């Protein structure tokens, strides 16, 4: 993806999403489709956004038993998405099943395999939330332990994962509105941040 900017289509209806996508398509490299739009508009919204010529980042954060996640990833590949998210807390077996499914389905359908991105800690979580669900109450350490690939600007080191021996791009979240909760706004750092400069691509939007 040559243009690293991803615009979030966090909108309720297909009509609103497509209108925004058509307006922004010349300026961005991809559009993020999350749970709200996907649930409201269905899988067809992915195909309609792809028709704008932009890539699609399907942010559904799959987290289930390995076989179920593998089948969901296969369906995502057939929709022709370029990036898709899973929760790394699903475990290594689930993550391997997701990647294998992406590669196999892409090969069978003659498509390029999407980048399978691992989400570690949600941006709404803090130390108290992690403690509540039985994790170590330290966000940075939890992110590092799960070694994911989607982060916020302040937690963007240059990950080099021992299990695969290569460096990954780090899609980062940016630009929540002023109405966003204080906790969410605290997670966003200036684009001048040395760590933030390592993020490629960048997801713009709420």
Q: How far apart are CA 134 and CA 35, in angstroms?
A: 25
- Stronger pLDDT, 205 or 49, i.e. the higher one: 49
Banded pLDDT at 200 (limits 50, 70, 90): low
Burial of 148 (0-12, 13-18, 19+ CB in 10 A): buried
Condensed to tens digits (0 to 9), the pLDDT of residues 174-187 reads: 445 555 554 444 44
What ranges make up the beta strands (E) of the chain?
A: 5-8, 30-34, 55-62, 83-87, 115-119, 151-152, 160-161, 166-167, 172-174, 202-204
pLDDT of residue 8: 95
Helix (H) or strand (E) segment spanning residue 94 = helix 92-109
What was the pLDDT predicted at 141? 86
Residue 71 appears among annotated catalytic residues: no
CA distance 101 to 75: 10
pLDDT tens track for 18-49: 999 999 999 999 999 999 999 999 999 999 99
> Which pLDDT score, from 0 to 100, does residue 178 have?
52
- Looking at 61, 71, 141, 184, which residue is catalytic? 61
pLDDT (tens digit, 9 = 90+) per residue, 103-134? 999 999 999 999 999 998 888 899 999 999 99
Spatial contact of 54 and 33, defined as CB atoms under 8 Å apart = no
Mean pLDDT in residue range 51-66:
95
* Three-state secondary structure string covering 25-39: CCCCCEEEEEHHHHH
Four-way CATH pick for 1-119: 3.40.50.1980, 3.20.20.70, 3.80.30.20, 3.40.710.10: 3.20.20.70
- Ranges of CATH 3.20.20.70 domains, the chain: 1-119
């Amino acid at each position: 993806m040559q243009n690293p900017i991803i615009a979030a289509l966090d909108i309720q209806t297909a009509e609103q999403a497509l209108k925004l996508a058509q307006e922004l398509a010349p300026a961005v490299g991809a559009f993020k489709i999350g749970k709200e739009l996907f649930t409201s508009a269905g899988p067809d919204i992915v195909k309609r956004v792809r028709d704008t010529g932009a890539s699609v980042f399907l942010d559904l954060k799959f987290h289930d038993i390995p076989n179920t996640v593998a089948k969901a990833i296969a369906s995502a590949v057939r929709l022709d998405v370029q990036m898709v998210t899973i929760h790394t807390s699903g475990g290594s077996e689930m993550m391997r099943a997701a990647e294998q499914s992406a590669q196999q389905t892409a090969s069978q359908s003659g498509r390029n395999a999407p980048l399978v991105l691992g989400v570690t800690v949600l941006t709404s979580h803090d130390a108290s939330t992690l403690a509540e669900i039985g994790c170590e109450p330290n966000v940075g350490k939890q992110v590092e332990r799960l070694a994911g690939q989607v982060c916020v600007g302040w937690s963007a080191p240059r990950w080099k994962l021992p299990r695969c021996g290569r460096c990954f791009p780090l899609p980062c979240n940016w630009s929540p509105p002023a109405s966003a909760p204080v906790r969410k706004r605290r997670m966003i750092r200036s684009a001048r941040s040395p760590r933030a400069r390592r993020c490629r691509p960048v997801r713009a939007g709420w």
